[in-house]
Amino acid sequence: MDRRSLLKFILAGLALPASFAAQASQAVRRVSVVRSGGSTKLLLDLSGPVIANSLSLDSPPRLVLDLQQAALDTTLDGLLLDGTSIRAVRSGKTPTGDLRIVLDLAKSGIQGELRPISGNGRKLELLLPDLPVRGSVVAAATQQSPVQAKGKVNRDLLVVIDAGHGGKDPGAVGAKGEQEKIVALQIATLLAKRIDAQKGYKARLVRSGDIFIPLRKRAEVAQRLNADLLVSVHADAAPRLTASGASVFALSQNGASSSMARWMAQRENGADSVGGGLAVKLRKEDPMVAGVLLDMSMNATISTSLDLGHQVLSQLGQVSGLHQSKVEQAGFAVLKSAAIPSILVETGFISNVRDCRRLHDTRHQRKIADAIFAGVDSYFRQQPPPGSLIASQARAETA
């Protein structure tokens, strides 16, 4: 992403005139820390709008905040950090003259959300969860499955599987009342079994029953478990009843790759309003999302997701018709984890009579699950994550 489009991300949410786009040197005039409701906000008062990126790094765990062509016009001493996940705050200049603010964190895996909070671009906030991170769904998931230790040798690759919808959100409904949430859970469960049966892999289901979980929580489960991959399983409806076949989606930073992809993302993102929670808006005008998308690590994650999605799509094409022959992209809220490659698989259209019948057939469900796994496996065999058993096997084969 070039500098100009980055800037647009910040400015789009603020409805600023284009003249602001001129890149001037700005100053950070005040930095403060505010704690509320289990999270900490690092607030920056600026002399004017800046392009900002945040990036999480490990060993030691830290969060880097780069402000392009900005200078620090205040002190970082004396910030009240007790009880927060921040150990220390320091600053420096990058070789390109940007201001870099580094937050040393109490532990790794803490994700920050960067967003503008004023209409004139003069206030930025970085939101961080406090320690310990609370969340009933996450806690339930971690109880049975300790967080993946990525430093371990020959570790299993962890695939988190998200069965779409659930509870009061049925998802798409077929002509005879068939419900997407049921089909999605059946296929997700078969996929989990297939993955667990393979040496070198482990699967975890975000939901194993008919319960409602907000979209953000689903991505959080994958983050908390330090997963290698998130696969969200769906079987949607289309306005055109003849639409059929499987498709694979990845997140997009720049709008949808087709009108169908946009429509799908709008449907899926509506799940939270069905469930009674806040509707998730994943538009680039959304300042919060702009902050997340500005995180440069997102680019790498999306590119991995596209490669992986391509492998899954080509395997799916051998057991099912395809709706699209390439991986589609749109702003799916469930895929917005900046650290974990994430794909959404539409296994077919519940609105299509033939697809719907097949989606309820256990043999076909198993074929779909096997195909998704085959795609995932072929991707990881080609690019084995360091420290994994799959990586050791790949080394042994080439040795």
Cα distances (Å, whole numbers) of residue 262 to 5, 178, 228, 325: 20, 24, 26, 17
Is the CB of 270 or the CB of 387 nearer to Zn ion? 270
Residue facing Zn ion at closest CB distance? 234
Enumerate residues 67-126 that contact Zn ion by CB under 5 A.
none
Segment interacting with Zn ion, rule: CB under 5 A, options 42-50, 114-122, 212-220, 235-243: 235-243
What element of type H or E holds 101?
Answer: strand 99-105
When asked if residue 364 is in the footprint of Zn ion (CB under 5 A), the reply is no
DSSP letter for each residue of 18-40: GGGGS---EEEEEEEEEEETTEE
Question: Closest separation between CB of residue 179 and Zn ion, Å?
Answer: 11
Closer to Zn ion by CB, 332 or 379: give it. 332
Minimum Å gap between C-beta 379 and Zn ion is 23
CB of 164 to Zn ion, least distance (A): 4
Q: How many residues bind Zn ion (CB under 5 A)?
A: 4
Query: Any alpha helices (H) in 177-279, and if so which ranges?
Result: 180-196, 215-224, 259-269, 271-274
Q: Does 181 bind Zn ion (CB under 5 A)?
A: no
DSSP for 301-328 reads HHHHHHHHHHHHHHHHTTTS-BS-SS-E
Q: Residue 201 or 349: which CB sits closer to Zn ion?
A: 349
CB of 271 to Zn ion, least distance (A): 7
- CB atoms closer than 10 angstroms to residue 338: 25
Shortest distance (Å) from residue 343 CB to Zn ion: 14
Distance CA 228, CA 304 (A): 11
CA distance 207 to 96: 46
Segment interacting with Zn ion, rule: CB under 5 A, options 54-62, 146-154, 233-241, 335-343: 233-241
**Does the footprint of Zn ion cover residue 164 (CB under 5 A)?**
yes
Q: Are 186 and 164 in contact (CB under 8 A)?
A: no
* Distance of closest approach, residue 181 Cβ to Zn ion, in angstroms: 8
Between the two ends of the chain, the Cα-to-Cα distance in Å is: 39
Does residue 234 touch Zn ion according to CB under 5 A?
yes
* Residue 348 is a binding residue for Zn ion (CB under 5 A): no
Closest to Zn ion by CB, 121 vs 171, is 171
Given the complex with Zn ion, which of 116 and 214 has the nearer CB atom? 214
Which residue's structure tokens are 């489960």? 221
- Determine the interface stretch with Zn ion among 1-9, 36-44, 119-127, 236-244 (rule: CB under 5 A): 236-244
Find, among 169, 156, 159, 269, the residue nearest to 206 by Cα: 159
**Contact stretch for Zn ion (CB under 5 A) within 31-39, 129-137, 171-179, 242-250:** 171-179
Q: How far is the CB of 162 from Zn ion (least distance, A)?
A: 10
Residue 234 CB, shortest distance to Zn ion, in Å, is 3
Q: Give the strand pairing for 247-251 and 342-346.
A: antiparallel
Q: For residues 226 and 324, which CB has a smaller minimum distance to Zn ion in the complex?
A: 324
DSSP H helices in the chain = 3-12, 136-144, 180-196, 215-224, 259-269, 271-274, 287-294, 297-316, 353-359, 362-382, 389-398
171 touches Zn ion (CB under 5 A)? yes
- Is 169 or 295 the residue whose CB approaches Zn ion more closely? 169
C-alpha distances out from residue 82 to 128, 191, 299, Å: 14, 44, 33
Give 163's strand partners.
233
Instruction: Using the rule CB under 5 A, give the single segment among 42-50, 226-234, 370-378, 382-390 that binds Zn ion.
Output: 226-234
Q: Compute the least distance from the CB of residue 48 to Zn ion, in Å.
A: 42
Residues 3-22 as x/- pattern, contact with Zn ion by CB under 5 A: --------------------
Distance CA 174, CA 204 (A): 28
Judged by beta carbon, residue 28 or residue 350, the one nearer Zn ion is: 350
Query: Taking the complex as a whole, how short is the minimal distance between the CB of residue 360 and Zn ion, in angstroms?
Result: 16
Distance CA 156, CA 322 (A): 31
> Under the rule (CB under 5 A), what is the footprint of Zn ion?
164, 171, 234, 236
